[in-house]
Amino acid sequence: GQQLNQSPQSMFIQEGEDVSMNCTSSSIFNTWLWYKQDPGEGPVLLIALYKAGELTSNGRLTAQFGITRKDSFLNISASIPSDVGIYFCAGQLSSGNTPLVFGKGTRLSVIA
């Protein structure tokens, strides 16, 4: 089935550093969502994007819907230890009533 290419797969960063991760696809998406999952929990929605070029922030998180509608990125500024977790991108194809497609996640580790 349809896959999203999410990179990097994992990151180790120092506390206070900025982080950037992205998702790409060969298909056009109507919607891009970014989730964070903590161990043993379900994914939590961080940011939702609905228009090409849209830039949305949620605290220290900023995400953008690529103008080609085939990619999205998520930035985290001034990382803190509680940012540790797995970040997933998800998108809905433009072809109609289709379920969300998920990337395989970026595992973020923050070194204090």
Partner 1 sequence: KAGVTQTPRYLIKTRGQQVTLSCSPISGHRSVSWYQQTPGQGLQFLFEYFSETQRNKGNFPGRFSGRQFSNSRSEMNVSTLELGDSALYLCASSPQGPMNTEAFFGQGTRLTVV
Query: Which range binds partner 1 by CB under 8 A, 15-23, 34-42, 61-69, 76-84?
Result: 34-42
Q: How far is the CB of 31 from partner 1 (least distance, A)?
A: 5
Q: Closer CB to partner 1, residue 85 or residue 103? A: 103
Could you say whether residue 12 binds partner 1 (CB under 8 A)?
no
Sheet with 19-24, edge to edge strand ranges: 5-7, 19-24, 71-76, 61-65, 55-58
Q: Give the chain's end-to-end CA distance (angstroms, integer).
A: 39
Cα gap 41→15, rounded to integer Å: 23
User: What residues line the site for partner 1 (CB under 8 A)?
Assistant: 1, 31, 33, 35, 40-45, 48, 88, 90, 92, 97-105
